[in-house]
Amino acid sequence: MAVDKEKIKEHIRGILLAIGEDPDREGLRETPDRVARMYEEVFAGISYTNDEIAAMFNKTFEAPKDRNKNDIVLVKDIEAFSYCEHHMAIMYDMNISVAYIPRDRVIGLSKIVRIADMVTRRLQLQERIGADIADVMEKATGSPDIAVIIEAKHSCVTARGIKNRESSTFTTTFKGVFNEEKMQEKLLMMMKK
């Protein structure tokens, strides 16, 4: 489903009126159009299912034959942002780490970052971001052994309501062998380096 930019423009104009602004004043005249174009970009992931994202980014290569069966591939410090589905408020300073244990194939490292980027381009919950990334990674790599760790700030906490600017939210999603305590410890040691 494509973003309906005309409806967004209409509704943003209505929001401006509802908050007491003049949408025809110089600084706001083009705001509905700018917001519509921004929403088309930041919500691009809404148009795709997890299966479709996995198909877009499933380029894999033969895994090294001499690898240990528990060798972990970890991409950490993936910067991202998303929008909370409860307030449409931004989740920012998001840092995502994605790990997997390859089977017969390895995925291109940039594809892991692209998967995280596309999943965050939806109205989301932080917990679902981790679950969606893990789901797409499993489909794209063929490995059931996936871990996703996310830290983020939520503007619905930092900028409104309680206004606690220093709080961060951590979430984990562990699948396969990453449900084992020893594998979680190994992963956390890798992340500290």
Query: Catalytic positions, please?
Result: 84-87, 126, 154, 156
Give every CB contact of residue 1 below 8 A, 6+ residues apart in sequence.
Answer: 46, 47
Handedness of CA 116, 121, 34, 5 (dihedral sign): positive
Q: How far apart are CA 90 and CA 46, in angstroms?
A: 16
Q: How far apart are CA 78 and CA 189, in angstroms?
A: 18
Q: How far apart are CA 172 and CA 184, in angstroms?
A: 10
Three-state DSSP state, 105: strand
Give every CB contact of residue 188 below 8 A, 6+ residues apart in sequence.
Answer: none
